[in-house]
């Protein structure tokens, strides 16, 4: 994937992260074709946001292969912490 496409996809994701607005699918030409492309885009998005991952999580990817993704400290809460769903734009919780 070309660096320009990676940067454009990362900017698209970073804007959605900052605004909290839901995303449409990435436009044609910006969709990662491989897991490696996706990792490049994710890293570039974190760089654009000035964020560093605090850890990694694993999730099933294409073909059942486990894919690592960043965990951000600003998105983690301690177990048992009450969360008012009204404070969340798009409430969806999962175990980290």
Residue of 36, 34, 35, 32 whose CA lies nearest to 10: 32
Bridge partners of 43, per DSSP, are: none
The CA distance from 29 to 40, in Å, is: 15
Domain ranges of the chain: 3-87
Q: What does residue 66 show for φ and ψ, rounded to 5 degrees?
A: -70, 135
d(CA 53, CA 68): 12
pLDDT of residue 9: 97
Residue showing tokens 């436009």:
27
DSSP H helix total and E strand total for the chain: 2, 2
The model carries a pTM of: 0.75
Q: What is the pLDDT of residues 14-67, one digit of tens each?
A: 999 898 888 899 999 999 999 899 999 999 999 999 999 988 889 888 888 888
């Amino acid at each position: 994937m070309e660096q320009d496409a990676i940067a454009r996809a990362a900017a698209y994701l970073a804007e959605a992260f900052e605004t909290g607005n839901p995303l449409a699918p990435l436009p044609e030409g910006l969709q990662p074709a491989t897991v490696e492309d996706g990792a490049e885009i994710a890293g570039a998005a974190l760089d654009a946001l000035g964020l560093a991952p605090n850890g990694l999580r694993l999730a099933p990817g294409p073909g059942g292969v486990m894919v690592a993704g960043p965990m951000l400290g600003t998105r983690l809460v301690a177990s048992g912490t009450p969360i008012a769903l009204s404070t969340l734009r798009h409430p969806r919780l999962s175990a980290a």
